[in-house]
Structure 1
Amino acid sequence: MENPFLLRSFHIRWSQLTPDLVVSAVDAALADAESRIATITAQGPEAADYANTFLALEQATELLNETWAKVTHLTSVADSPALREAHNAALPKVSAFQAKIPLNEPLWIRLKAASLRPAAQALEGEHRRFLAETLAEFRQQGADLPKEKKARLEALQAHLAQLTQKYSENVLDATNAWELIVTDVERLRGLPAHALESARQSAAKKGLGSEENPAWRFTLHMPSQEPAMLYAEDESLRREIWTAAVVVGTQVPHANQELVRKILALRQEKAALLGQPHFADLVLERRMARNGAQALAFIKDLHSRVQAAFARESRELEEFKAQQTGQPVSRLAPWETGFWAEKLRKARYDFDEEQLRPYFPLPGVVAGMFEIARRVFGLRVTELPAAAAETWHPEVKFYDMHDAAGRHVGSFYADWHPRESKRGGAWMNYLITGGPQPDGRRAPHLGLICGNLTPPAGDRPALLTHNEVETIFHEFGHLLHHLLGEVGIKSLNGVNVAWDFVELPSQIMENWCWERESLDLFARHHETGATIPEELFRRMIAAKNFRSASFTMRQLAFARMDLDLHLHPVEEMGSDLAAWIRGRLQGYLTPTEPASPTMENRFTHLFADPVGYAAGYYSYKWAEVLDADAFTRFKREGLFNPAVGRDFVNHVLSRGNSAEPMELFKAFMGRPPDLQALLLRAGLV
């Protein structure tokens, strides 16, 4: 029987994708890709043209890409010792193969020869873009290097893949290794009912506690950790959870300190091999920012604009705590900031996030989001019954998406709740890229969205925070970027765009979570069906930009730390990396006593992938400028205006990387982006 990992069926048979089949599947897919590339290089350079070289190379790795996507996806949502072992056995082979492609001298000779043909020079649209991007990618990955440097680069890439995978495993394992069992309900004063019930159920699932003598279990997963940090009156409880959270990735056997230094050193060496002064310039060469200096200038500019408001907010919180406790004004402890900020917000706006939770049952939020997608983008989303589409876990749902013309544009899986076998955070990914085919058909795309949101409790549906609602809309925006792609070149479709542009489609969707007109479509009380009362809505909007300078500064601190780590050689940083980072972040960190530890040892965005968001964390704020500005068109011309929605699909969502990002933005807005829109939305001007 054919290995099920190699089957390219649209409906994946997840139950058959067992760890023992991973290595043989990857070996077969690698052999297929290598054979196809050998066919390209077997022809003489004089016979090379766009179709038999560029397009053939694009198709050569399709089976490998789809096979490896299934493997890596399962490691994210269904981790197990056997799967991890199989993944780690296959990873060096895949990494080495991918690193080897741009370093394949015969292939590079043929690509250059094909690019000079008159027919290739005359290409237009996405084909011209693909030719230019392929040549640039090869050069950026070392195609022009001498032989010995190419060999070093290959080894370096494989080593980076292994180190970053180990970093990721350490964070996951350290997170899962910690739990806090509470048996004294007095320690839990202040916690919302849903958080108490979730903690009780978590303990019960582990065989802890009973009806007569309940126990409550807390973990470092956000739906468990966050309510405790915001609401628990018991400071010792908050301190215990905070202390556990900030040491993730720092303690044996899950220590990442040496891995971080090695990863930074290898990235710096890679940049030097490729003729760049530092890794940031290498990474950003083909992104909107173009280089590390421009990205850093953007971060510093935003920092200067919010610095005064940030200092004011920090002082206000210290004064508020002093006033409430009768103590002198002093620095807060880091496990106090969220708690006292929530108290201040409630006092100032008579608004508690938990008041909104009953209005955000997960099924209603998802249904409302689909209705917004129908009104704005003309899309129809339908859930398939469990018998019609297999999934990797019983909680996972499968949906089909059709456009206004009735075309099946794509399908997707949704997996929303935490499990110990699932990595933290929220993400979108894709498994199959369809789109326009050479024979004129259009094949559907297949994607997925995942999160770690508040789970259901008993018979009650999952009741979400507003922030969790934004997370769903955010990931759905990424998904639309993939599913609505109309680019014939798969590697240019959907989210395969510059990383400082990729967050525009996701972040713009969050805006519909704040408008009365759109909230009324999905924010309905889970028991009564009532919409959010007007008074509560007014308080929610009034509190929207509460401590917005602090939240902005938190993102800027992450971005600044990321850029500094990748703009300087690791040798410059001294033996105490945390102290060096803290020195770079003067004026970016909330002043606390004691100071919060830096987070390089658990910052998976930067270190869980050979590149990932490394030197690219600024992208979140960069793309916020784009999304805040782009949404002004919907505000001006109508939240559900289908004409504006069509323009956004035609100029952004459907175009992928078929043109320069700035060109796509200007096509939608008619002008370059305006930073002022973000500051206005955040209440910072």
Structure 2
Amino acid sequence: MAAIVAWMPLTSTTHAANSFDREPTEISRHCEQYMAEFNGQIDALVNDKAKASYDSVFVAFDNHMTQFVDQLLHDYLMQNAHTDAAIRDASTACALKGFSVLNALSANRALYERMSAVPTEGLAADKTYTVNYWKSEFESSGIGKDEKTRAAIKAKNDEISALGNTFGQNINNAVNKIQVKAERLAGLPQDYFDSHPADDKGMVTISTAYSDTRPISKYAHDRSLRKEVAMMSRNRAVQENTPVLTELLERRYELAQLLGHQNYAETNMLGTMVAKPTKVAEFTAKLSAAIAEPVVKEKAQLLAQMQKLDPAAKEVRSWDASYLSNIIREQDYKLDAKEVRQYFDYDKVRDGIIALSEDLFTLKIEPSDAATWHESVEAYDVFESDKLIGTFFLDSHPRDGKFTHAAQFGIQLGKKGETLPEAALLMNFPKGLMEHGQVETFLHEYGHLLHFIFAGQNDIGYSRFQSESDFGEAPSMMLEEWVWDYDTLKRFATNEEGEVIPKALVEKMNQARYFGQALGVATQLTYTALSFDLYNRNPEGIDLVAFEKDIFERYSPYGYDDGTHMFAAFGHLNGYGAKYYTYQWSSSIAEELLSRFKEEGLRDPKTAQDYRNLVLAKTGTKSAAELVRDFLGRDFSVEAYAKKLSQGG
């Protein structure tokens, strides 16, 4: 398996011999083995009496770190993807031990001193960046504190890791279901009925999987059904995660106090592009001002449409928005979403996205014989000039026990001449026809995958993670543009008869594209406020329901829906902490990156290669601001994105 053989050199023509079927006892045994090996390597590095140099310290450290993380990534993937609960449990236990090892590493004063002894004079810029990155990481983790405080910080981080893991696992396990009469699904496309057959009592089972809920929110005429499904989704894991999140907030606040910060938001901003909470507040205020007028206009349009259906209606609720927006697009833009979706069958979308990356970046991608963890998982090898440069896996459809959102998971970091990058996309798409928005999500996640593979071709194995955390979404958000491009869509978007999506239909899609944009951004800023404000305070005595209600009443264009507990199933409150603003921040960077493509051509090969070589491949070797500057020839600004929002797209 990739994790076990991570330290073994790979040739350019083979991929790692992955195995995902180890018994739980073997997972546990191997867990102890690779963690003990890593700790021994770090001890040897620290106790080396030779004069410290970049090669003797940082090259060795990167080798050890890459080997360790490869194996930890493997366990973390299995925790979120394996079909066997016992294997998931064993992998979860191992991942938690791995996080504890990393927490201990951040408190290792002797290692920090060894790194600090490395002279940077005369070092290449990427090496100097690596030295400064790690010194900054240690310093922001409290390495300057006394031994007792460092031990307390390590213990607090271990508690946080365990709580965060429980929070995420509760969400994965909370797949709720309801049964409804088939006639209540009026308005849904025929393929939805085909994939959700009624039982002998005429009842259809609806789960909280996105492939079940999103078509209902968009097409179901039955308003009470839309509400019922929305409430089911927003109340996932509420019993389990309310106490977990409360404790997570408390432990993170205590960590911040140990580090000498006012709150966890301040701690969480270290190592980001924004650097401090005040800049987040300034940024979100700028976007809120930009969308103020468009939000009022779009809300009025939704209400007017609602009143055509119900003259007595006084307001639009959140579960009405997608349905009403779809009607408006049909009437005002002559865009039929059901017509659109017939051109986006999963298999064709997958092949089209792969072909797009081949064209843009001069790659060849072929099915791989690499082992997988489920029969539905698809493996692919990535070649450049007949040289294997990576492998990826597509785990695209929902199943019990699996991660319920959409994300890229690393499996193996790449290190030039030693290992090849491997990554997986865990997604939850239908097996047949997809909404165009789901195609956009697919390409977004695929952008993360390309980023992982291209960044895994240099001498620093850990480089993909040596970047500001609020930059990581920008490359993927930029890539979403291609699913609106006719020259791209015509290559794979065909209906059951093989007819290519009409250019006129794509033009209608683009004309209707920005309707609802302001409301969408307002919703994103609501989530941003929920994330940021939860952590930008002392959580003592917090009432999560009251807090969520206050946030939604102040920021959401639809207000708070009584009886919902979104915080319980909002996984980003663990992984992103206070940093959900990252999505809008990354959107502003993506708008700037895209400006060069729009000027030179979305499919211009030189622009694409520059983007790959200057941004994606160089991640973790210089600051994100420098990466963007190298590609654009100038510094980026959030003004272009704010202006676009203020103009309603």
CA distance in structure 2 between the aligned counterparts of 1:4 and 1:471, rounded to whole angstroms: 27
Q: Which residue of 2 aligns with 1:196?
A: 193
Partner SS state of residue 490, structure 1: coil
Give 1:470 shift: 0.8
CA distance in structure 2 between the aligned counterparts of 1:540 and 1:507, rounded to whole angstroms: 18
CA distance in structure 2 between the aligned counterparts of 1:678 and 1:363, rounded to whole angstroms: 34
Q: Superposition pairs for residues 71-470 of structure 1, below 5 Å? A: 71-112=75-116, 114-115=117-118, 117=119, 120-174=120-174, 176=175, 178-182=176-180, 184-200=181-197, 209-210=199-200, 215-251=203-239, 255-327=240-312, 329-384=313-368, 388-403=369-384, 405-437=385-417, 443-455=419-431, 462-470=432-440
CA distance in structure 2 between the aligned counterparts of 1:15 and 1:561, rounded to whole angstroms: 37
1:356 corresponds to which letter in structure 2? V
Q: Superposition pairs for residues 10-25 of structure 1, below 5 Å? A: 10-25=15-30
Partner SS state of residue 657, structure 1: coil
Q: Which residue of 2 aligns with 1:555?
A: 524
Contact 2:103–2:154 (8 Å) recurs in 1:
yes
**Which whole-Å deviations, capped at 9, do the CAs of 1:167-208 have from their partners, x for residues lacking one?**
11222222x2x21223x33222111112212222xx7xxxxx
Distance 1:34 1:308, change over 3 A: same
1:557 corresponds to which letter in structure 2? T
CA distance in structure 2 between the aligned counterparts of 1:647 and 1:67, rounded to whole angstroms: 32
Distance 1:294 1:379, change over 3 A: same
Give the stretch that moved more between structures: 503-512 or 528-537. 528-537
Give 1:625 shift: 1.0
Q: Which residue of 2 aligns with 1:625?
A: 588
Q: Which residue of 2 aligns with 1:458?
A: none
Give 1:618 shift: 0.8
Contact 2:238–2:565 (8 Å) recurs in 1:
no
**Which whole-Å deviations, capped at 9, do the CAs of 1:529-558 have from their partners, x for residues lacking one?**
222223322321121011110001111111
Q: Superposition pairs for residues 509-524 of structure 1, below 5 Å? A: 509-524=479-494
Partner SS state of residue 435, structure 1: coil
Q: Which residue of 1 aligns with 2:12?
A: none
CA distance in structure 2 between the aligned counterparts of 1:561 and 1:26, rounded to whole angstroms: 36
**Which whole-Å deviations, capped at 9, do the CAs of 1:59-115 have from their partners, x for residues lacking one?**
223333222211110111125431243234334432221111121232233222x22
Distance 1:345 1:592, change over 3 A: farther
Q: Which residue of 2 aligns with 1:499?
A: 469
Give 1:349 shift: 1.8
Contact 1:487–1:658 (8 Å) recurs in 2:
no
Contact 1:4–1:17 (8 Å) recurs in 2:
no
Give 1:5 shift: 5.6
Give the stretch that moved more between structures: 361-370 or 593-602. 593-602
Q: Percent identity at matched positions?
A: 24
Contact 1:249–1:256 (8 Å) recurs in 2:
yes
Partner SS state of residue 429, structure 1: strand
Contact 2:596–2:632 (8 Å) recurs in 1:
yes
CA distance in structure 1 between the aligned counterparts of 2:107 and 2:559, rounded to whole angstroms: 49
CA distance in structure 2 between the aligned counterparts of 1:568 and 1:623, rounded to whole angstroms: 25
Q: How many residues align?
A: 640
CA distance in structure 2 between the aligned counterparts of 1:93 and 1:506, rounded to whole angstroms: 31
Partner SS state of residue 196, structure 2: helix
* Unaligned runs of at least 5 residues, structure 2: 9-14
Contact 2:160–2:248 (8 Å) recurs in 1:
yes
Matched, 1:567 2:565: no
Contact 2:115–2:131 (8 Å) recurs in 1:
no
CA distance in structure 1 between the aligned counterparts of 2:95 and 2:54, rounded to whole angstroms: 31
Distance 1:382 1:552, change over 3 A: same
**Which whole-Å deviations, capped at 9, do the CAs of 1:110-157 have from their partners, x for residues lacking one?**
222x22x4xx33212221111111111111112111011111111111
1:179 corresponds to which letter in structure 2? K
Contact 1:332–1:593 (8 Å) recurs in 2:
no
Partner SS state of residue 522, structure 1: coil
Give the stretch that moved more between structures: 592-601 or 303-312. 592-601
Q: Which residue of 2 aligns with 1:459?
A: none
Q: Which residue of 2 aligns with 1:671?
A: 634
Contact 1:22–1:87 (8 Å) recurs in 2:
yes
Q: Which residue of 1 aligns with 2:572?
A: 605
Distance 1:666 1:164, change over 3 A: same
Q: Which residue of 1 aligns with 2:36?
A: 31
Q: Superposition pairs for residues 516-535 of structure 1, below 5 Å? A: 516-525=486-495, 527-535=496-504
Distance 1:591 1:449, change over 3 A: closer
CA distance in structure 2 between the aligned counterparts of 1:261 and 1:618, rounded to whole angstroms: 21
Give 1:407 shift: 2.7
CA distance in structure 1 between the aligned counterparts of 2:591 and 2:528, rounded to whole angstroms: 19
Distance 1:62 1:511, change over 3 A: same
Give 1:424 shift: 0.9
Distance 1:34 1:224, change over 3 A: same
Q: Superposition pairs for residues 531-546 of structure 1, below 5 Å? A: 531-546=500-515
Distance 1:594 1:59, change over 3 A: closer
Distance 1:214 1:90, change over 3 A: same
Higher relative contact order (CA 8 A, sep 6+): 2
CA distance in structure 1 between the aligned counterparts of 2:382 and 2:99, rounded to whole angstroms: 33
CA distance in structure 2 between the aligned counterparts of 1:595 and 1:557, rounded to whole angstroms: 16
2:627 corresponds to which letter in structure 1? L
Partner SS state of residue 366, structure 2: strand
Distance 1:596 1:126, change over 3 A: farther
CA distance in structure 2 between the aligned counterparts of 1:570 and 1:79, rounded to whole angstroms: 37
Give 1:31 shift: 0.7
Contact 1:26–1:64 (8 Å) recurs in 2:
no
Contact 1:11–1:390 (8 Å) recurs in 2:
no
Contact 2:619–2:627 (8 Å) recurs in 1:
no
Q: What's the TM-score, normalizing by structure 2?
A: 0.94
CA distance in structure 1 between the aligned counterparts of 2:419 and 2:88, rounded to whole angstroms: 32
Q: Which residue of 1 aligns with 2:450?
A: 480
Distance 1:592 1:346, change over 3 A: farther
